[in-house]
Chain A
């Protein structure tokens, strides 16, 4: 089906572990984004990508790594998870007019 998907939808991990959140879109949008949603902060941009192999930091990039080897995929990796990274993570892609959001991944770091 066309659209933007995220996996897993729910993840519990331990402090210090590496975890990767996946994002896949079928529209061939050039631009993709990762946000985190926290109470009191709304949606904050972690990283974004303008095209394959082009990525840049957003507002809150520390502790995260991204890659974009293919246009349709934009994985987000927490290299060593911390409790402060417990959040809901949203991926989005853009046709340069609107951003389309995935369903979100709820990550809990214990």
Chain B
């Protein structure tokens, strides 16, 4: 069973704060690292798919970096807003895995107005 760890488990920030959280994954047999945003009572939605070491992706105030050699990815949110409150999931996709994803348990972000 692959080990995909996310930290912290939960995070409370004030509106306007910038924040970041971590995903660690196996550094061997890497194919892609996925980030999903999961709002309460909804289904997960894809944020980023990252494949190359050193990759950086950005969507609005959210960005992510990838280090495949050491097996970690960071997700950054700049100037958090209450609507950013959600669980952020990362998922590891190994080579030859038939597009199967192994998910971390997520980081629950709460942004207080």
Residues on A lying within 8 angstroms of B by beta carbon are 31, 33, 35, 40-45, 48, 50, 56, 58-59, 90, 94, 96-104
Contact = CB atoms under 8 A, between A and B. Distances in A.
Contact of A58 (B44, B45, B100, B104): B100
Q: Which of B46, B89, B104, B106 has the most CB of A within 10 A?
A: B46
Given A43-B103, A45-B102, A90-B43, 4 more contacts: A31-B99, A33-B101, A45-B101, A56-B98
A14 to B, nearest CB: 26
B104 A42 contact: yes
B1 A43 contact: no
Contact of A104 (B43, B46, B103): B43
Contact of A96 (B43, B99, B103): B99
Interface string B82-113: 00000001000000001111111110000000
Contacts of B49: 97-98
Contacts, number: 46
A42 B100 contact: no
Contacts of A104: 43
27 contacts: A31-B99, A33-B101, A40-B105, A41-B105, A42-B105, A43-B89, A43-B103, A44-B103, A45-B100, A45-B102, A48-B98, A48-B100, A56-B98, A58-B100, A59-B102, A90-B43, A90-B44, A94-B99, A96-B99, A98-B34, A98-B46, A99-B34, A99-B46, A99-B99, A99-B101, A100-B46, A101-B44
Contacts of B46: 98-100
A89 to B, nearest CB: 11
Contacts of B98: 31, 48, 50, 56
A49 B105 CA distance: 23
Contacts of A90: 43-44
A45 to B, nearest CB: 6
